């Protein structure tokens, strides 16, 4: 079973320029989910969702040897057995740099085949070529901005006890947003920067407590997907909303950004608009 410390993270890596699918390094989701009390014996997951990956440094050669570039979006199901370690993902994509491929359809099929195998479940792949780059738009997560709150902070590790909700009054539906999410890579400790959106229905969540809780990830070491699932489970258990969705947009590293989304009600998959910091 692959573990994060066995991955290419934090190690010197030789870049392969010929197609090498073996570079992909899957890591089981089960270990980190067990920390959250989510085990194989606990039944179905209390959420569903996707991990949206955007790859901005995708290049290959056409059959005449001319370089091609594109942006790829890969959507992996949140209930897949594995995540793919991001540095290995980057190394894998770079292995196409000197590889001749017979068009974007053939490339997309290779990506689908290899990444579905690594995630352990079917993934969706779309490729945007330069003729469509001009249509790309940017946007920000909508919602009430928590960052407006003028609060004191003295704790920089996740503290679920900070999360409270008003159960005395009637339920509300609202969307809350913060751009102050920062966590660190589980292996290297390198900073990961993101924005997070929380949609919910139920007892009104105390906004100051929620902001303190989110800022508490600032010195926490965990992969993006794991942080989002931790936020989801802590809010669900502490505040008991009837509906909950958590979506994070992380800034890119190595030409990749990862945007996990977890929900327990049908909202439709979130949009993939690139934010200003991405």
Where in the chain are the domains?
4-135, 144-263
Instruction: State how far the Cα of 122 lies from the Cα of 118, in Å rounded to an integer.
Output: 10
Instruction: State how far the Cα of 141 lies from the Cα of 124, in Å rounded to an integer.
Output: 23
**What's the pLDDT band for 40 if we cut at 50, 70, 90?**
low
Q: Say what the pLDDT of residue 42 is.
A: 58
The per-residue pLDDT of the chain, averaged, comes to 94
Q: What angle do CA 71, 72, 75 make, to 5 degrees?
A: 150
Task: Write the pLDDT tens digit of every residue in 211-235.
Answer: 999 999 999 999 999 999 999 999 9
Q: Are strands 172-184 and 144-145 parallel, antiparallel or unpaired?
A: parallel
Q: Cα separations (Å) of 236 from 101, 199, 218, 220, 251? A: 46, 12, 21, 20, 26
Task: Write the pLDDT tens digit of every residue in 10-34.
Answer: 666 778 889 999 999 999 999 999 9
Q: Which of 31, 142, 150, 185 is catalytic?
A: 185
Q: Which of 51, 192, 234, 257 is catalytic?
A: 192
Number of helices (H) and strands (E) in the chain: give both, helices first: 5, 12
Q: At 27, give phi and psi (nearest 5°).
A: -130, 125
What is the average per-residue pLDDT within 52-76?
Answer: 98
CATH no. of 144-263: 3.30.1130.10
| DSSP state at residue 65 | S
4-135 belongs to which CATH class? alpha beta
Helix axes 224-239, 207-215, angle to 10 degrees: 150
Instruction: State how far the Cα of 198 lies from the Cα of 188, in Å rounded to an integer.
Output: 28
Q: How many residues in total does the chain contain? A: 278
Sequence-ordered list of residues with C-beta below 8 angstroms from that of 146, at least 6 positions apart, any chain: 176, 177, 178, 180, 207, 210, 211, 214
Residues 169/45/226/151 CA torsion (nearest 10 deg): 0
Domains 4-135 and 144-263 share a fold: yes
Q: What share of the chain is helix, strand, coil (3-state, %, to 5)?
A: 30, 30, 40
What is the average per-residue pLDDT within 253-257?
Answer: 94
**What's the pLDDT band for 41 if we cut at 50, 70, 90?**
low
pTM for the whole structure: 0.94
**185 catalytic per annotation:** yes
Q: Say what the pLDDT of residue 194 is.
A: 98
Chain centroid to Cα 79, Å, comes to 13
Q: Say what the pLDDT of residue 186 is.
A: 87
**31 catalytic per annotation:** no
């Amino acid at each position: 079973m692959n573990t994060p410390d066995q991955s290419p993270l934090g190690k010197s890596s030789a870049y392969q320029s010929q197609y090498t699918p073996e570079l992909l390094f899957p890591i089981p989701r089960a270990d980190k989910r067990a920390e959250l009390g989510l085990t194989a014996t606990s039944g179905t997951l209390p959420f569903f969702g996707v991990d949206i990956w955007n790859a901005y440094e995708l290049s290959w050669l056409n059959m005449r040897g001319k370089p091609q570039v594109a942006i790829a979006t890969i959507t992996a199901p949140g209930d897949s057995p594995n995540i793919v370690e991001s540095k290995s993902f980057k190394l894998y994509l770079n292995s196409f740099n000197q590889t001749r491929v017979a068009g974007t359809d053939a490339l997309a099929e290779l990506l689908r085949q290899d990444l579905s195998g690594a995630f352990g479940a079917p993934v969706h792949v779309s490729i945007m070529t330069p003729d469509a780059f001009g249509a790309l738009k940017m946007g920000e997560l909508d919602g009430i901005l928590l960052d407006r709150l003028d609060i004191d902070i003295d704790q920089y590790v996740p503290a679920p006890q900070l999360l409270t909700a008003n159960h005395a009054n009637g339920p509300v539906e609202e969307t809350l947003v913060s751009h102050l999410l920062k966590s660190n890579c589980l292996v290297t400790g390198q900073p990961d920067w993101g924005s997070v959106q929380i949609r919910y229905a139920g007892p009104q969540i105390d906004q100051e407590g929620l902001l303190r809780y989110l800022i508490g990830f600032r010195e926490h070491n965990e992969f993006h997907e794991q942080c989002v699932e931790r936020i989801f489970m802590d809010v669900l258990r502490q505040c008991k909303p009837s509906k909950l969705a958590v979506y994070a947009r992380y800034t890119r590293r190595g030409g990749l950004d990862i945007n996990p989304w977890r929900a327990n009600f049908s909202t439709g998959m979130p949009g993939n608009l690139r934010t200003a910091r991405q």
